[in-house]
Structure 1
Amino acid sequence: MPHKPHIVLITPAAAGSRAGNRATATRWAGLLRSQGYRVSVRLPDAAPSGAPELILALHAWRCHGALKAWKQAFPLCPVVLALTGTDVYRFQYSHPTTVYDSMDEADVLIGLHDCLEENLPERYVSRLRVVHQSARPLPPQVSKPGRRRFEVLVAGHLREEKDSLRAAYAVRDLPRASRLQIIQMGGAHSEAWARAAREEMEGNPNYRWLGDQPQWRVRQAMGRARLMVISSLMEGGANVVSEACVAGLPIIASDIPGNRGLLGADYEGYYPVESTEALRACLLRAEGSPDWLEDLGRQVSARAPLFSPEREAAHLAAVVASAMETGSSSEHA
């Protein structure tokens, strides 16, 4: 039986979690297994064991202790570190020693969008590789948009980094002729966020929060929606953007590096971060201008080839091979 190289994949999100880190870990484990690797998915508190040939960690700040422990146990083992949005846009500044220590351990760094290097110290850029997260097309039997409502989907956990209620605020007191309705899916990060969403629903007939939903329900909602809003303050490369592009679903997105790095600098559907009025204007324009909405749809569809599973698998395999080669060279130096 041929030898299967062993990869330990460390993620801060437990099995069953719908957090983005867990979804990425599960997908990457599947892609790597299909290429002949043996992959063990571990949480940060798991004791190092099993003599891996590669350590792959998701999240520089949350996995710092685990990364140090695994590297101490297996000092010759190469390390690949995937950087999240909070790593780059929050913890790099609030906890620089921890984040940079994790990055210093890595032979290769993974970024999930094309603009990440704008916010990294120059000494790390040569180690950075971009792996776009993939998505699969919606099934043919998925629901189609209705005529009664112009549904706009917001998908993601309710938390500060997502500016989660911005779309809801933008559809308060709409013109009488408007059919805009925000459908939000995602669990609340705290009871305060859940309370805020419930209170918003009570006073805003154009907003519905459905709470945490399985992926198949989110994909159904994507089929019914005419538009998606990504209102985040920071993103490491949201997989929901990949999903929307592959589905041909137009996006209105906050103008941040994490969105530009997936949709491109010339995408026409950006609005200034945290600007309720600008987002409202974009939503009303999308509803009232079918030509503009179709143009946004063409633009997202043009990005779809970036997010094919085959492309993600190939780029991930190249990163792993590069890190293993670097580790092997260091071992024999």
Structure 2
Amino acid sequence: MGVIEVGLGGRLDSTNTMEHKVVTVISKIGLDHQSFLGNTIEEIAREKAGIMRPGVPCVLDESNPPVVRKVVEDYAKEIGTDVILSSTESAFLDGLSEEDFEPHQWQNLACAYTAFHLAYTKPASPLHHLLPAIQNLRWPGRLQTLDIRSVTGRREVVLLDGAHNVQSAEVLGSYVDNRLRKGASKVTWVLAASKGKELEGILKPLLYPGDCVAAVKFVPVDRMPWVEAMAPQDILAAASACGLDTTQLRDADSNLSGALRWAATVADGGPLVIAGSLYLVSDVLRLLRDAEQLKSQLLG
């Protein structure tokens, strides 16, 4: 059995060539990729609903707003299938504590749990497979703690997250506020973004006056020439509009290692977060991998 992620949208996605879908899942929907999917949450929901197939049940994240639920359920009636809202029954709750997860993680787990129950047709309970997988889950680029000592010399771990739209930025901002800002005078950020992103909405839940920001461009994305990095000066202008002092801003251009070194210096052991783009996540992980490989070669 395979778990296949839709690339973009749903209605026109290449995953629709699959002939043997057992269950489909629509998680929390937010405004993103409007140039492809539509300018309203209803239009985007309709595009996402296109992954559904007649007779194949669809799990919908119950935390979606009513307008999303209506669009998805109306389309399900059109094609002849059922929508099942995500659920965490008592059996699921017995094995895990909601307190150990962020709210969005718990919502995503509810979707996975519900879909797994629909897809798992063997008589034995699937929970003995599912619980160890959840307990050992590590998701690169999503609230990932990272050691950047090989590039910067900083001993404290940093937070790496691919938040790149308003919805994911709100989740990241809540995490940073609850976990990192307590007892800290500032948070230092290394940020990148794709051109066309709604930057004001993304930065608003992240940045506070007194924070420091290094803006950087991610490298060109292989085989995706339509994806372009936003100019660092545009990111810094948006950060300044959030109330940050211009003396606490750094234009790193395309120099990611330089951005990380500057951020590590000004953070001075305080919270450091890298965010704004999954392409930046890729660049950071590649930079650290190459640094570790070079270190191993020199020591070898």
Q: TM-score, normalised by structure 1?
A: 0.32
The structure with the greater share of residues assigned to strand is 1
Relative contact order (alpha carbons < 8 A, sep ≥ 6): 1 or 2 greater? 1
Q: TM-score, normalised by structure 2?
A: 0.34
